[in-house]
Structure 1
Amino acid sequence: MIKNILVVEDDVVFCKLLTRFLDKNQYRTHDAQSAKKALSLLEKESYDLAILDYRLPDDNGLHILETIKRDNKVGKVIMITRYGDEEVASKAIELGADAYISKPINPDELLTVIRGL
């Protein structure tokens, strides 16, 4: 069962909205706005789920996904991509992501995906 979620999203406002929404739905969240911060958090704690944005200021979500899968620090992974970016979504699934969601994100869709993992 998913309880502890890492949200990696460089848009600070969207990231905070997402974490607050997840908190209100009984999840415990940590957030990072860069790959460096995400990797630092992953060194300290394991997560049931990571929600990774593809585009980050210092790297991309696929590299974080590769690290997560190599180090086995996260149970499940959802990749966030721009609408129409099927190539990134396909690569994420190939690297071991459990799901992907296109932006703009519908919060109810996100909850449905999380609960289905």
Structure 2
Amino acid sequence: MIHKILVVEDDVVFCKLLTRFLSKKEFVTNDAQKASDAYALMESNQYDLAILDYRLPGENGLEILKKIKKEYPDMKVILISRFGDTETADEAKSLGAEAYVSKPINPDELLEVIHSLK
């Protein structure tokens, strides 16, 4: 069951909206705007799910996904991106992402995806 979520999104306004929405839905959330901050949070917290934006400063979401699956194999990952191309979605899933969601995100649809993860 998903309880604690890490949101990694460089758009601060969207990130705060998403974490606020998830918090209101009874999830415990933390957020980061870049990979290094996300890694620091993962070292000091145990997350059930990471929601990763594809385009981030420094490392992209796929690079963070690779590290998560290597170091935190039980953590679920949803990759989000404005670029709804199937190539990125296929790569994300081949690297172990449980889902790929295109922006703009419908919060209720994202919630359905989160609830579908076991």
Deviation at 1:73, TM superposition (A): 5.9
Question: Where does 1:37-48 land on structure 2 (aligned, <5 Å)?
Answer: 37-48=37-48
Cα deviation code 1:5-32 (max 9, x no counterpart): 0000000000000000000000000000
Aligned counterparts of 1:75 and 1:37: Cα–Cα separation in 2: 17
The one-letter code sitting in structure 1 at the alignment partner of 2:61 is G
Using structure 1 for the length normalisation, give the TM-score: 0.96
The one-letter code sitting in structure 2 at the alignment partner of 1:81 is S
Structure 2 gap segments, 5+ residues each:
none
> Aligned residues: percent identity?
64
Q: 1:47, 1:73 within 8 Å by CA — same for their partners in 2?
A: no
Aligned counterparts of 1:16 and 1:74: Cα–Cα separation in 2: 25
Q: Give the root-mean-square deviation of aligned CA atoms.
A: 1.1
Q: After the TM superposition, which parts of structure 1 deviate over 6 Å for at least 4 consecutive aligned residues?
A: none
Aligned counterparts of 1:52 and 1:67: Cα–Cα separation in 2: 12
Using structure 2 for the length normalisation, give the TM-score: 0.95
Q: 1:81, 1:102 within 8 Å by CA — same for their partners in 2?
A: yes
Q: Please name the residue that 1:90 is paired with.
A: 90
Q: 1:50, 1:78 within 8 Å by CA — same for their partners in 2?
A: yes
Structure 1 gap segments, 5+ residues each:
none
How many residue pairs get aligned? The number is 117
Aligned counterparts of 1:23 and 1:40: Cα–Cα separation in 2: 21
Q: Please name the residue that 1:21 is paired with.
A: 21
